Amino acid sequence: MGMTMTQKILAAHAGLEQVTAGQLIEADLDLVLGNDITSPVAIKEMEKFNTQSVFDKDKIALVPDHFVPNKDIKSAEHCKCVRNFARKNEITNYFEVGEMGIEHALLPEKGLTVPGDVIIGADSHTCTYGAVGAFSTGIGSTDMAAGMATGKAWFKVPSAIRFVLTGKPAEWVSGKDIILHIIGMIGVDGALYKSMEFTGDGIAELSMDDRFTIANMAIEAGAKNGIFPVDDKTKVYLEEHTKRSYKVYEADEDAEYDETYTIDLSSLKPTVAFPHLPENTKTIDQVGDIAIDQVVIGSCTNGRIDDMRIAAKVLKGRHVAQGIRCIIIPATQAVYLQAMEEGLLKIFIEAGAIVSTPTCGPCLGGYMGILAEGERCVSTTNRNFVGRMGHVNSEIYLASPAVAAASAVTGRISCPCQLV
């Protein structure tokens, strides 16, 4: 019986020739990730273990990003806890303010995630690294503690769904529209504890930033992970970002999939997820007339340089509508710097937007853009649950950077093709 890409990676890290869906395995870890919210819990749990140090100081990444720079005393204490732990254990990949960024954009940028890796992170969007052909998944803080101490984790081997992507996306259709279309099609539990495996000639038409976005939101369909094959674009990206060696795994021709979906990318339209679930999707021509109060462009889903460029393309020579707040958050310091050097920040500010330091910020209702009662926000983030970005009676509409930027200009949910 053949194995999927995910199953091959897990088998190799468990020291097994073969694994099957549903099998329980213990696998070696290549990277354990935590942030300023989840790491303090893991650190306190690890203190209960009979161990004096982490399993490998080079294979742990600690990224304060949710409430950084600190918004209050509690967030400052959390970061102090992480900082002290990193110093005590001489953690190589601890990223302080000035070096940090949103974790799931930062780690690939720093070359810490490569094909064939097994990566766990105490954050649900750790599945992002499947874009480079790694198995990566979110876990709880207790599992993070065990991973930091032992370098191992238990997994149930997931079954898989195959998504065959064909064709070329039209203008203004991006990775965000593709994954929203998929979630709208299969639902928020449509891939529950399964691997979403992407194949097809259409992958060649997707940038690495598109792939990061798609893999990032695999969890929004309930998936254990999302994963892309390693192609020429992946290899070019890796050459630019890492010196680590890696191993490429490919699915067997007779690999078993629970379902196979074929998606013609050329047929897709800009897509918006309405409140209060990512599966509640409508194409831009179905949206209607919906006035908004705020736009957020950023997050671990859409804060990369391609996202900044698309937003700037839409905003250049235009201005944010009167009474609308437009908040733009580059995902890392490198993205911030590149956007500055390309003149994108000047475009944003002249258009009436504000630019934040890298942070998760308002995505999880943290800070830098919390919504009041009755307010509506178009956001490039990944979740639009009740109260996710503020008041329980606020509304979040998930969209691409192109749609978000156009909406900031009109004050209503809009596509750039609708701008005069």
pLDDT digits (tens, 9 = 90+) for 40-87: 999 999 988 888 799 999 999 999 999 999 999 999 999 999 999 999
pLDDT at 373 over 90: yes
**Secondary element (H or E) of residue 351:** none
pTM of the model: 0.95
* Whether the domain at 5-263 and the domain at 272-418 fall into the same CATH topology: yes
**For 146-182, what is each residue's pLDDT tens digit?**
999 999 999 999 999 999 999 999 999 999 999 999 9
Residue 285 has pLDDT above 70, yes or no: yes
Q: Per-residue pLDDT for 350 more than 70?
A: yes
Q: Taking 90 as the threshold, does the pLDDT of residue 203 lie above it?
A: yes
Residues 195 and 251: their CA atoms lie apart, in Å, by 12
Residue in the block written with tokens 């065990």 = 146
Integer CA distances (angstroms), 49 to 5, 113, 128, 145, 310, in order:
34, 28, 30, 9, 48
| Amino acid letter, 9 | I
Give the pLDDT of residue 47.
87
Looking at per-residue confidence, does 419 or 150 come out higher?
Answer: 150
- Look up residue 120 and give its amino acid: I
SS3 of residue 326 by DSSP: strand
Helix (H, G, I), strand (E, B) or coil at 281: strand
pLDDT band at 377 (very low <50, low <70, confident <90, very high): very high
The 10s digit of each residue's pLDDT in 1-42 is 799 999 999 999 999 999 999 999 999 999 999 999 999 999
417: left (phi over 0), alpha (psi -120 to 50) or beta: alpha
| 261 pLDDT above the threshold of 90 | yes
Q: Mean pLDDT, to the nearest integer, of 350-377?
A: 94
Mean pLDDT across 373-382 = 96
Phi-psi domain of 98 (left: phi exceeds 0; alpha: psi -120 through 50; beta: other): left
| pLDDT tens per residue across span 209-227 | 999 999 999 999 999 999 9
Question: Which CATH fold would you assign to the domain 5-263?
Answer: Aconitase; domain 3 (3.30.499)
CATH class of 272-418: alpha beta
**Tokens 């992946």 identify what position?**
234
The confidence band for 418, taking pLDDT boundaries of 50, 70 and 90, is: confident
Percent of the chain scored above 70 by pLDDT? 100
* pLDDT (0 to 100) of residue 50: 81
Contact between residue 197 and residue 160 where contact means Cβ atoms under 8 Å apart: yes
Above pLDDT 90, what percent of the chain?
95
In the predicted model, is pLDDT for residue 420 greater than 80?
no
- Delimit the domains of the chain by residue range: 5-263, 272-418
Computed over every residue of the chain, the mean pLDDT equals 96
pLDDT mean over 121-138: 97
- pLDDT above 80 for 131: yes
Give the tokens for residue 411: 């004050």
Residue 399's SS3 state is coil
